[in-house]
Chain A
Amino acid sequence: MADVFDKVKEIIVDKLEVEEPQVTMEASFKDDLEADSLDVVELVMELEDEFDMEIADEEAEKINTVGDAVNYINSNQS
């Protein structure tokens, strides 16, 4: 769990150019991390590559917070 969060945080810090403390489980990509829709799509792409998984569009649309992404990865990782 912690590993996934750390990795996700690292990617978010890199992609969205935010500070590490801003990236909490509750942080919303759009409201708290100032990501636009395309940023979120791009982030999901990065996560797919990093965790070697495919996230369907319908699932990706439900990912609004950092926690959503971490939980999705945790429950779908093979």
Chain B
Amino acid sequence: MLKGKNALVTGASRGIGRAIALELAKQGANVAVNYSGSEDRAQSVVEEVRQKGVESFKIQANVADEQESKAMVKQVVSDFGSLDILVNNAGINRDNLLMRMKEDEFDQVIDTNLKGVFQCTKAVSRQMMKQKGGRIVNVSSVVGVSGNAGQANYTAAKAGVIGLTKSTAKEFASRNILVNAVAPGFISTDMTDALTEEQKEGMLSLIPLEKLGEPEDVARVVRFLASDDANYITGQTIHIDGGMVM
């Protein structure tokens, strides 16, 4: 399905990013695994990806930094020869009530979760324009659509990603670069494991399918959006949330 394609997944050392890297690899794509701090975990993802019979390497970069993003993309293009799929997944959270949220908690989340998408998209745009095609999939969140108390920074960034996705889709449509977003709901990852039982119960009561999603549920949709099956889809945000936000 993605045989011979070259992909870069940001924030791929764990959770949803890891699942996306493995799913793309399973379909035949070579995958560069970006990480920020977790080098060991990134290395083990690289090894898992290689077990699918494709090429892989890890690459450290802070996606919010222009120079680091550029250098990362350059490295991937030089190693793989092209870059067909970019998945902007890297994200952090610094949850707090707005009244208690510090400026740097707000800035850090916007920097990584929103500006990081801009930096990496800009960094790959030249290559994808030259190739006359490419796929960009941005990982937003349903709370970017619905809002969520205690996550003013995170929801602002994730809503921003949806707007950025639409503008990028319009700018690059004529060059056959398709840009879409996925909006995961309550997915079982380290980020959600950190919640209390009470918080989890509260979330579950909002999900019509009455269960958490798995990272693989998100990964399969990303793989679809990155494939030729999604040739006529751009600028869209697909919710993967068990019906939580409609």
* Chain A residues with a Cβ under 8 A of chain B: 36, 38, 41-42, 45
Contact = CB atoms under 8 A, between A and B. Distances in A.
B171 interface: yes
6 contacts: A36-B174, A38-B172, A38-B174, A38-B175, A45-B126, A45-B129
Contacts of B126: 45
Given A36-B174, A38-B171, A42-B129, 8 more contacts: A38-B172, A38-B174, A38-B175, A41-B129, A42-B175, A45-B126, A45-B129, A45-B130
A2 to B, nearest CB: 28
Main SS of chain A's interface residues?
A: helix
Contacts of A36: 174
Contacts of B129: 41-42, 45
The 3 residue pairs across chains A and B that have the minimum distance between CB atoms: A42-B129, A45-B126, A38-B174
A38 to B, nearest CB: 7
A30 B130 CA distance: 21
Interface in B127-183: 129-130, 171-172, 174-175
Contacts of A38: 171-172, 174-175
A45 B129 CA distance: 10
Nearest to B175: A38
A72 B175 CA distance: 27
Contacts of B172: 38
Nearest to A37: B171
Contacts of B175: 38, 42
A36 B172 CA distance: 12
A13 to B, nearest CB: 18
B242 to A, nearest CB: 39
Nearest to A49: B130
A38 B177 CA distance: 13
A42 B129 CA distance: 7
A38 B125 CA distance: 11
B40 to A, nearest CB: 37
A25 B226 CA distance: 42
A38 B174 CA distance: 9
B179 to A, nearest CB: 14
Nearest to B174: A38
A45 B171 CA distance: 17
A40 to B, nearest CB: 12
B74 to A, nearest CB: 13
B75 to A, nearest CB: 18
B66 to A, nearest CB: 12
A36 B174 CA distance: 11
B169 to A, nearest CB: 13
B240 to A, nearest CB: 31
B118 to A, nearest CB: 15
Nearest to B126: A45
Nearest to B173: A38
